[in-house]
Structure 1
Amino acid sequence: MADKHILLVIGGGIAAYKSLELIRRLRERGIGVRAILTRAGSEFVTPLSVSALTGDKVYGDLFSLTDEAEMGHIELSRAADLLVVAPATADLMAKMANGHADDLASTALLATDKRVLIAPAMNVRMWEHAATRRNLKQLTADGVMVVGPNDGDMACGEYGPGRMAEPHEILGRILAFYEGEANRPLDGRHVIVTSGPTHEPIDPVRYIANRSSGKQGHALAAALARLGARVTLVSGPVTEPDPTGVQTIHVETARDMAQAVEDALPASVAVCAAAVADWRVDGEAGQKIKKDGSGAVPTLSLVENPDILASLSRRNQGRPALVIGFAAETEKVVDHARAKLARKGCDWIVANDVGSGPDGGVMGSTDNTVHIVTGEGIESWPKLSKIEVAARLAARIALTVKERNI
């Protein structure tokens, strides 16, 4: 693995001493290591000991004139294949989850376009605190990989989860990452994913929309990127963060989304996960529509929006080899999905029940129950988190790409 390079961020905690053993194990396997030692981390291990093991300079100062003259934090974060944070303290996790960049470590982590693996280490109460759980959820949604923590005795005398994973466990996760990277089935493929709702203006303060959160589409874009695809995500207005390693184009209306998809072509695969508004107002009012006291209700004349899925599916030239649509239904889910598959001319429909039944309430939630409808039949999946649905769907797409030699 002589061509592999890791940037190791060593946070401030008693577990920092384990980072020295991790460096030794990585170097034994020919993996190059550069290290950023935080100010707090240097209270537990010395720059000299880290430098002796990495065989390289240890970085710590965001405002080093020699390093920053060459945009050191950018170069550090992007020259590596993988960034590893060990120990990942509660403070570092909070900075990462909220996009803070007030030192070299957090700035390099924010500037990276590579995958990140964290090995959390902290007091059990800190690990179980709502803020840490919230930050962890955000980090995993952003595609950050996590190893540990383990249960055990703490330096503070308490017992429970919070001990940093052992060096051999972290090494195992790193080697698994490299094994997966060596077999990225979607390398060289461009995939377009649409996600979220569209907002169709009525007047300057009102619009037609739906309850789509973008969680499923964004999770799918991230999962496809992890399999090596070059992903263009065309997103309507959502509060979801842009996935790491994905080109995200933000739009508002269905017409904006249709144009962005057109501009992103050609692509091997297109996945239309967005809940695009079917209609828009024929002529947006220039000023807010006011009540006039008469009780008269304004008449809204609607026109049909562009059908992005059908347009992609029916292209004579430049059609993606695999076009997948989503169907959010409130009744007769599979029947409506079958009809949509035939009507749109796409290859698959991913259908789900967004009504109020036992599998309903999907829009905005973290879970989903889907049915994959194709010309060959129907495949119904159990209730899963949207991240798990995304991973399974991305794997199915990768398998189809391989089988069809797309």
Structure 2
Amino acid sequence: MINIIAGGKDKEILMLEKAAADFAKKQLAPEREANDAYPFGPFFDTVVQKAFDLDFFAVMLPEDLNGMGMGVKAFATVLEGLCQEDSSLGGILFTNASAQQVLMAAGGSALLEKITAAESLSDCLIAFPGFNNPRDVRNLARAKQGSDGFRLSGTVEYVVLGAMAGHALIPAHLDCEDDYTFFLVNLAEPGITLSEPVVSLGLHACPAVDMSFDNVAAQPVGKADQGSVYFGEMADIMHAAAAAMALGVMKGSFKEAFTFSQQRFQGGQEIIKWSELKRIVAEMAIAVQNAEMIVGMACHVADARIPGWELCTRAAALQVQKSACDVTTDGIQVLGGVGYMKDYGQEKRFRDAKQIQALLGMAPMKKIRYIESMIKGCKA
């Protein structure tokens, strides 16, 4: 199939594409089942460290912030390649990049520069509740300003990377504020309590915890009462990356189904020769190719900042994530009974596709936000 994400096939994109594919094949695929056992098994920290050493965490960061200075197309290329084999590492990369994008949108580049200059992986990572839109959360943490600065109290649920990052970017309400404000918290501060790892539907090795704050020192990021603005600016970009993750899952599911259907014999012939199964595999292939074109276009317009690109990336994520759920369902059906077993990757991809659909908030709410943005644009 044509790789639309890699678009113009410039040298740097091709290098990232190959690096991600090789990494997925050598580092992720062999231990996929074992890594998915987390938190009831060991965490694949050595693999995450190798991804850090390859600068996968710095793809979209500007060069003056210790990054590679590449756009969302480059980051999408990495995510798509990794997620074909195991999406958990993609979720880790996505979470950290989302927090970085919020900091940049809020004018916190100086803070981000200090974090990204750290030598250790944990000190460079930023925990973030990336599966929620704070506007849809009823009870956010609360912050108060005192003589010694701001203090944070309350509980924030499902903070991804909360147990392994050096900092966390937390949305919280200030007194008498309608919207919320983002606060950067050094996780070495006293008064922070972490729950046991939260067991999720998919992306098991993309660890999350509930975090409780008891009068913890925190630094506000950007203007007060402007959290939704910064989250929205981040989401405009990161929806393209989320779509790329879903595309990777789709590609992995199709490849496994296609290979299996040519190797499995039933009734004296390969099952791919049976017309009904051939139709299912064909529909998977068409869905993957359509998703490839959608993600490629979304990345292109986002990097070029073509007018209306924000709606394009959001629509891409909603459509491709939905398609991923359908394709992974078909992927299980092609394998039959063994498709439900952990010995193959289809069972995990089915769960991961559902989890990816929840990135940056629940799908129904994202659809409502989408039409609200269109209405706002019509009135402008």
Regarding TM over 0.5, the answer is no
Bigger relative contact order, structure 1 or 2 (CA pairs below 8 A, ≥6 apart)? 2
Whichever structure has more helix as a proportion of its residues is 2
The structure that is strand-richer by fraction is: 1
Please classify the TM superposition score into its range, dividing by the shorter chain length: under 0.3
CA radius of gyration, larger in: 1
- TM-score (structure 1 length as normaliser): 0.25
